């Protein structure tokens, strides 16, 4: 059996691992041109240690940490709703106020700081997820599965359109589509890559102007492109919260069984997909197929396995678990703080490291930021009730300044 305090520690610990794990993939998007995120042959090195790092991340972490974060968002949504209802507050007003302000934070992050923001999508999808707050876990899983089928149908169109474009090379619309996918998944020209490096080593105004021109409609297009998957993950997380998976209420052998099933289903196929991409020399159609439709139904198994493994390994009261849980309690501050640190390190208005580090070397930055998260989160929460941005978000959502310093009861 677990206590209420243990349940919060479990959620916070899984969230802490997720927010740290997201940086394993996002660091490439901070440090290099966009296609390097999916395609190591595009930039940053695709042999030796660089290839090994890509392989390790693709098989174990790519999409899984983001998905785990989405699971936790769904679980936290129910936690807030349940807490508001228990206090006699209007749960709908509390929830939608939080989502509206999260959308504001997300848009500021997207347009003014970094193009890879996920908060705006979470805010919009979170408004929809509220409608399922009273659904049975079985219904949540069923609806989530249907949403993944829709997502799979959408992303399957990408490689099909690429193949069709190969038969119509003179069609301007097809050429534009291929060029767009190349800039996201393929191996763009040296000239285009050089332009990206020059841009991101420039001024904040130049970078922000370009980012806004590219991403001004990002929240809308993102909703239709991958919102189905995001909502599915939130619903899975809500079901995992209601059934006790994410609160540590399951028996240990049940966690062991589902961790084993999840990894047994996902890891071998991820390994085969990685081998296929390497054998093709990271050809565009292969990469798009492997990282989009081929993994749609694999990721939930891997995410479930990671959640179970983290809960099995955590030790409530242990020094590492305590620090990771603190980082999870401050996930909002740590997520946005990471963007501020990384853009300062890599962009031209900071140190200007953009495009300088290899894929393997850039992970020294990850280790340093992880250390910062673990070092500052716990001492902060020993003095204050919330992380700085969590406090700001809560104050804005509730329309009044919230008490910041810890009380004896906290």
Band the pLDDT of 165: cuts 50, 70, 90.
Answer: confident
Using the predicted structure, report yes or no on whether residue 2 has a pLDDT greater than 50.
no
Using the predicted structure, report yes or no on whether residue 3 has a pLDDT greater than 70.
no
Using the predicted structure, report yes or no on whether residue 176 has a pLDDT greater than 80.
yes
Contact 261, 159 (CB under 8 A): no
**Average pLDDT of the chain to the nearest whole number:** 94
CA nearest 325: which of 392, 370, 374?
374
More confident residue, 30 or 180: 30
Using the predicted structure, report yes or no on whether residue 409 has a pLDDT greater than 70.
no
Using the predicted structure, report yes or no on whether residue 7 has a pLDDT greater than 70.
no
- Element of type H or E holding 223: helix 218-242
C-alpha span between 220 and 215 (Å, rounded): 10
Indicate the domain borders of the chain.
Answer: 4-398
Band the pLDDT of 174: cuts 50, 70, 90.
Answer: confident
> For position 1, what pLDDT does the model report?
37
CA nearest 125: which of 236, 243, 19?
236
> For position 8, what pLDDT does the model report?
83
> For position 410, what pLDDT does the model report?
53
Tell me which DSSP letter residue 111 carries: I
For the entire predicted model, the pTM comes to: 0.95
> For position 163, what pLDDT does the model report?
85
Report the share of the chain in percent with pLDDT over 70. Answer: 96
- What's the pLDDT tens digit per position in 181-230? 999 999 999 999 999 999 999 999 999 999 999 988 989 999 999 999 99
Tell me which DSSP letter residue 317 carries: T
Give the least confident one: 102-106, 220-224, 393-397: 220-224
Tell me the C-alpha to C-alpha distance, in Å, between residue 255 and each of 310, 315, 390. 10, 15, 31
C-alpha span between 203 and 292 (Å, rounded): 33
> For position 4, what pLDDT does the model report?
45
Tell me the C-alpha to C-alpha distance, in Å, between residue 321 and each of 10, 16, 328, 400. 9, 9, 10, 33
Using the predicted structure, report yes or no on whether residue 170 has a pLDDT greater than 80.
no
CA nearest 164: which of 177, 153, 154, 151?
177
């Amino acid at each position: 059996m677990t206590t209420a305090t243990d349940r919060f520690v479990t959620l916070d610990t899984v969230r802490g691992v997720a927010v740290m794990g997201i940086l394993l993939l996002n660091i490439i998007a901070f440090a290099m041109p966009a296609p390097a995120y999916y395609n190591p042959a595009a930039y940053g090195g695709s042999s030796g240690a660089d290839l090994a790092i890509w392989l390790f991340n693709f098989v174990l972490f790519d999409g899984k940490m983001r998905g785990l974060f989405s699971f936790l968002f769904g679980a936290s949504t129910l936690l807030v709703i349940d807490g508001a209802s228990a206090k006699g507050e209007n749960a709908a007003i509390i929830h939608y106020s939080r989502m509206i302000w999260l959308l504001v934070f997300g848009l500021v992050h997207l347009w003014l700081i970094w193009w890879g923001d996920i908060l705006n999508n979470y805010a919009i999808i979170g408004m929809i997820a509220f409608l399922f707050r009273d659904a049975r876990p079985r219904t949540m899983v069923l609806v989530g599965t249907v949403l993944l089928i829709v997502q799979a149908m959408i992303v399957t169109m990408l490689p099909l359109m690429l193949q069709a474009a190969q038969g119509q090379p003179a069609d301007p619309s097809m050429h534009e589509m291929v060029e767009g996918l190349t800039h996201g998944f393929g191996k763009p020209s040296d000239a285009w890559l050089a332009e990206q490096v020059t841009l991101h080593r420039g001024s904040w105004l130049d970078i922000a102007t370009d980012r806004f021109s590219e991403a001004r409609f990002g929240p809308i297009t993102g909703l239709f492109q991958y919102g189905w998957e995001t909502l599915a993950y939130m619903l899975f997380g809500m079901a995992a919260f209601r059934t006790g998976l994410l609160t540590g209420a399951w028996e240990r052998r049940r966690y062991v069984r589902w961790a084993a099933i999840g990894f047994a289903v996902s890891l071998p196929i991820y390994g085969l997909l990685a081998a296929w991409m390497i054998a093709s020399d990271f050809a565009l159609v292969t990469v798009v197929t492997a990282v989009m439709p081929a993994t749609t139904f694999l990721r939930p198994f891997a995410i479930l396995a990671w959640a179970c493994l983290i809960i099995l390994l955590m030790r409530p009261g242990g020094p590492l678990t305590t620090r990771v849980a603190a980082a999870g309690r401050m996930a909002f501050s740590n997520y946005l703080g990471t963007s501020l640190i990384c853009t300062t390190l890599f962009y031209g208005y900071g140190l200007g490291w953009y495009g300088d580090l290899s894929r393997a070397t850039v992970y020294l930055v990850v280790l340093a930021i992880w250390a910062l998260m673990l070092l500052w989160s716990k001492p902060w929460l020993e003095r204050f009730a919330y992380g700085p941005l969590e406090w700001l978000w809560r104050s804005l959502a509730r329309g009044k300044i919230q008490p910041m310093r810890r009380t004896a009861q906290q």
